């Protein structure tokens, strides 16, 4: 049984992880942590739920802290986990460089897994993309198309940028090879370019397609997340992986295929 301390427990992802843990074998949410003004009143909680506004005072209850909160909380979590010897799964995005460094420092003392996308499917897609690019000549064009709900504020998605970086690296391309949308008389498509296109509308949770186009043929590698539970189950898989891992900084690729 893996004991989890959930940071950002009142948020969308925090609640999704709690649901996923309740529907899975082998996990117990020992403590829920959120800002004092976000903690639900006693009448709105299930019996036995333990809530706190202090990770410091709750962390001892867990084998793993699962964090879907916000930058400052993530930074504090890295410090607290390192000091108390508790593993950390962190999915909070948009964190600053100091927080990244705090996470790296924590990974020297405890097992840490940080991912901008916890979906196991996206981790598998990235692996398939690496193999596909390796198998094809550089003359094949690569374009990435992502679709998200109308409320998403950043474009393109962090996952699309991750896929673009995955596609650029083996060809020796840099950030300036990425072409974010096209408009007007832009001329023929240069070979050393990776197109990235964002579609917005409706309630799409997350849809990423990598198109690889050759002479008279093409391949589409596509991942669709239809429910944020996909990220929650991925975070639990990461927690299970970390519960028996040595200190270090891990990725979802390690969770897909643990070499232990």
Active-site annotation holds for 152:
yes
Residue among 94 and 190 whose Cβ is closer to ligand NAD: 94
Q: How far apart are CA 53 and CA 6, in angstroms?
A: 11
CB 148 → ligand NAD: shortest distance, Å? 11
Which of 2, 5, 6, 11 is in the footprint of ligand NAD by CB under 6 A?
A: 11
> For residues 65-124, which are near ligand NAD according to CB under 6 A?
68-70, 72-73, 91-94, 115-118
Ramachandran bin of 21, using left for φ above 0, alpha for ψ from -120 to 50, beta for the remaining angles? alpha
Instruction: Examine residue 140 and tell whether it contacts ligand NAD (CB under 6 A).
Output: no
Q: Judged by CB under 6 A, how many residues of this single chain contact ligand NAD?
A: 25
Residue closest to 58 by CA, chosen among 40, 46, 76: 76
The H helix count followed by the E strand count for the chain is 8, 12
Q: How far apart are CA 13 and CA 161, in angstroms?
A: 21
**Position of tokens 């600053």?**
96
Phi, psi angles (nearest 5°) of residue 161:
-65, -35
> For residues 226-255, which are near ligand NAD according to CB under 6 A?
231
The pairing of beta strand 141-148 with beta strand 206-213: antiparallel
Residue among 173 and 252 whose Cβ is closer to ligand NAD: 252
Active-site annotation holds for 30:
no
Which of 5, 20, 27, 34 is in the footprint of ligand NAD by CB under 6 A?
A: 34
Residues involved in catalysis: 148, 152
Q: Which residues bind ligand NAD (CB under 6 A)?
A: 7-8, 10-14, 33-35, 38, 68-70, 72-73, 91-94, 115-118, 231
């Amino acid at each position: 049984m893996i004991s989890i301390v959930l940071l950002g427990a009142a948020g969308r992802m925090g609640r999704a992880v709690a649901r996923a843990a309740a529907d899975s074998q082998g996990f117990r949410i020992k403590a829920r942590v959120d800002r004092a003004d976000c903690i639900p009143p006693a009448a709105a909680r299930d019996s036995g739920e333990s809530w706190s506004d202090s990770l410091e005072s709750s962390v001892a209850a867990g084998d793993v802290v699962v964090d879907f909160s916000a930058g400052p909380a993530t930074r504090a979590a890295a410090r607290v986990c390192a000091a108390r010897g508790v593993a950390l799964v962190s999915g909070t995005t948009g964190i600053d460089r100091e927080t990244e460094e705090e996470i790296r420092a924590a990974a020297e003392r405890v097992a840490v897994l940080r991912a901008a996308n916890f979906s196991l499917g996206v981790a598998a897609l990235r692996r398939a993309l690496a193999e596909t690019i390796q198998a094809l000549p550089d003359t094949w064009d690569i374009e990435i198309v992502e679709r998200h709900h109308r409320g998403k504020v950043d474009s393109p998605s962090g996952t699309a940028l991750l896929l673009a970086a995955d596609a650029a690296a083996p060809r020796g391309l840099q950030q300036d090879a990425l072409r974010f949308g096209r408009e007007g008389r832009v001329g023929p498509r240069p070979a050393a370019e990776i197109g990235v296109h964002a579609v917005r509308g409706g309630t799409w949770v997350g849809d990423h397609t990598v198109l690889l186009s050759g002479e008279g043929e093409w391949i589409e590698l596509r991942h669709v997340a239809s429910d944020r539970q996909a990220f929650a189950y991925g975070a639990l898989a990461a927690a299970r992986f970390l519960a028996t891992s040595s200190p270090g900084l891990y990725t979802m690729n390690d969770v897909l295929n643990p070499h232990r």
